Structure 1
Amino acid sequence: MKENIKCSCGARNKITCPNCSKIKMVIMLKNGNTELKLKTTNNRYANPVWYSPLSKNRKPTQLIIDSMYKRFEKSIYKTVANKVIFYNNFTKDFIISK
């Protein structure tokens, strides 16, 4: 998929998009933090997932990862996370975990 700086999947998202963002970050929470997990449509809980801003799609991957991790460190998830995993959202390939 081409690295557009606008949502091209038809969802018309302005900042991030699960389909069009370049990087996907999954926050793996420690056990017992169900209140911070996201409730899915079938009443199950899922770890939080963040997507990179669409405006950064043309930036180098490492620069995007570094800026996303800085935002994570300022979030409520920092103290309750086991691991943060980054994926290329277009190819679904693993990039790095921290």
Structure 2
Amino acid sequence: MAKDPDSGKAPGGTVDGLVKGLAPDWGPFAQVGSTARTVIQAIMAAVILVLLGRALLGVVHLRVGNSQHDTVQVKQGQKELAGSLVAAFIVASIGTLFTIVYGMGI
């Protein structure tokens, strides 16, 4: 995708569209200030990066365990990979989950 040299953004969209899942600005998050929203976004992004790093570490455990025929390390890698990816999905969709729960409470 070519960038527009004047705006610094991809043509036909903004960078905000890419991180909308990490930008909680609806439901209960709409009532907090912009600084609090920015802190929440930064925490969510950091947690997702850490979880993806752990998933990568799980893949390394899988590779090493397979090459050394170590079933314990393979199982550890599988658990770490699956747990990290599930947790990353939950954190990425936490804004939607909070909105659903908040909507049921009203």
TM superposition score normalised by structure 2? 0.24
Give the structure, 1 or 2, with the largest relative contact order (CA under 8 Å, sep 6 or more): 1
Normalized per residue, the structure richer in helix is: 2
Normalized per residue, the structure richer in strand is: 1
Q: Which has the larger radius of gyration?
A: 2
TM superposition score normalised by structure 1? 0.26
